[in-house]
Amino acid sequence: MKMKITTIVERVRFKINDVDAYRFTDEQIVNIVNEAERFVRNIFLELRPELLADKMAKGTFAKGENVAQLDYIPVRYIDVRCGKKMLHAVNIHEIKDLTAVGEPEVYVVVAKSAIAVYPLPDKEMQYFVTTVNSFTEQGLEDESFFGDDYDDSLIEFTAMRLSMLDEFDESVESQLLAEIRSNVQSKLLRLTSGPHFIKSYY
């Protein structure tokens, strides 16, 4: 289940003793909730970016064609496949022969919204690109991105930020952010029984 942003705002107001909306407008609180979502989202991107995967592009390479142009700018590439093979990301300088033809093994990000696969396809091949899209600001009637377990972290973050607007204490803020980060990290790490490894092509 995911909370509506309006519910998160209500819970934040309760925590900071502002249920009558005397100190903060809904818009002010929603702005901080969005900041909290970006904070939590960055932890997901660090540890489990595949959980944020929300875009898939697919198409077909003609023989000898190797560039896939997306119609959006991804934040992170999660999975790239060509034919029946999963491709691994490499730096362009790691590829010795850019003219080699065969079954693609690797991909390179060549522009903000494009990748190139190598070797160049030796026949027509389908490709699939799974990515994380950019963050979208939330409004009162939207649902949070993460679900109840992580919504508690959004509430804590937002309440902390609002409570410290009058008396900012960098050490206290750092400690609270570290606690929220640790809480989110532990939940993410408990989702699987083993570590995640990305196999290197070389």
In the structure, what pLDDT confidence band is assigned to residue 192 with cuts at 50, 70 and 90?
Answer: low
Length of the chain measured in residues: 202
Buried b (16+ CB within 10 A) or exposed e, 1-39: eebbbeebbbbbbebbebeeeeebebeebbebbbebbeb
Cα of 86 vs its chain's centroid, Å: 21
User: Torsion over CA of 148, 151, 153 and 156, rounded to 10 degrees?
Assistant: -120
For β-strands 125-132 and 55-61, DSSP reports them as: antiparallel
In the structure, what pLDDT confidence band is assigned to residue 163 with cuts at 50, 70 and 90?
Answer: confident
Statement: residue 95 has pLDDT above 60: yes
Number of other residues whose CB lies within 10 A of the CB of residue 147: 12
pLDDT given at position 196: 44
pLDDT given at position 169: 65
Statement: residue 108 has pLDDT above 80: yes
- Average pLDDT estimate for 165-185: 76
In the structure, what pLDDT confidence band is assigned to residue 129 with cuts at 50, 70 and 90?
Answer: very high
Which pTM does this prediction carry?
0.77
